[in-house]
Amino acid sequence: MRIYHTSDLHDHRGIAARLRALRAEAPGLLVDCGDALRGSQTVYFRNEPILAELDEAAYDVAAVGNREFHYLFPLMVARLRKMRHPIVCANLVDLRARALPFRPVLDLRLRDEQAEHEIRFFGLLVPQYPVGSRWERVFGWRFLDPYETASRIAEETPQSTTLIALSHLGLQADRRLAACVPRLELILGGHSHDTLASPEYVGSVPIVHAGPYGRYVSRTELRRNGARATISSYALLPLLTG
């Protein structure tokens, strides 16, 4: 199972050709951990030029970052509907029961010469205000505790399924996440703009941060050893130059 991962692109373009070339040479899934856009929680642009790059690169799934999130529900819906790949966020719910433009998890099946692999991706967004805040009444959004959310998903996920978090919490929070949820087989992270040359382990849970602005893409290869997937190969590859 090979996974390419970016995060915090912040509208830095010129990535698509390189990503397509890498995947042509060594096929794998392509994911993003949020903040690809130039907009923000309060600023909405009708045109997001990076979306054409994401489409050309053919991302398989992306997490909601605080640049994809918007406090105003209609603007977030309009923004995410322009994205052609699935979007995941498990710890954000709407108290008004409106139809969400994202899903909590994404289940994929990959087949190779030897077996079929089931992978579950889920997204975690850094909370913008606490549960019970008056802003819940204003906007209708509730941010669930990311650690409790991840623990629940881990309990609900079959042991035979590889469980991967697409985290937009930041590296420090990802370390806590790994300690709280040892069932996780990989945390792909963003938000704090950290670049890790190699995976950082908390217990048996690897954490990968590829850094911001499209400078690098991580490539992680997983292999199942018994009941758990582990990293068999890893590389941090230059993506943008200059």
pLDDT digits (tens, 9 = 90+) for 28-55: 999 999 999 999 999 999 999 999 999 9
pLDDT of residue 113: 63
pLDDT of residue 241: 67
**Can you give the residue range of the structural domain that contains 52?**
2-238
Q: Tokens representing 106?
A: 């994404």
Report the 10 Å Cβ neighbour count for 214. 25
- 117: confidence class by pLDDT, cuts 50, 70, 90: confident
pLDDT of residue 110: 82
DSSP class of residue 24 equals H
pLDDT of residue 242: 56
Contacts of 154 (CB under 8 A, 6+ apart): 163, 181, 183, 184
Whether residue 115 is predicted with pLDDT greater than 80 in this model: the reply is no
Question: What pLDDT digit, counting tens, does each position of 136-173 carry?
Answer: 999 999 999 999 999 999 999 999 999 999 999 999 99
- Summarize the chain as % helix, strand, coil (round to 5): 20, 35, 45
User: Do you know the residue count of the chain?
Assistant: 242
Q: Could you tell me if 48 and 37 are in contact, meaning their C-beta atoms sit under 8 angstroms apart?
A: yes
CATH number of the structural domain spanning residue 191: 3.60.21.10
The helix (H) or strand (E) run that includes residue 79 is helix 73-80
Total number of domains constituting the chain? 1
Contacts of 42 (CB under 8 A, 6+ apart): 70, 71
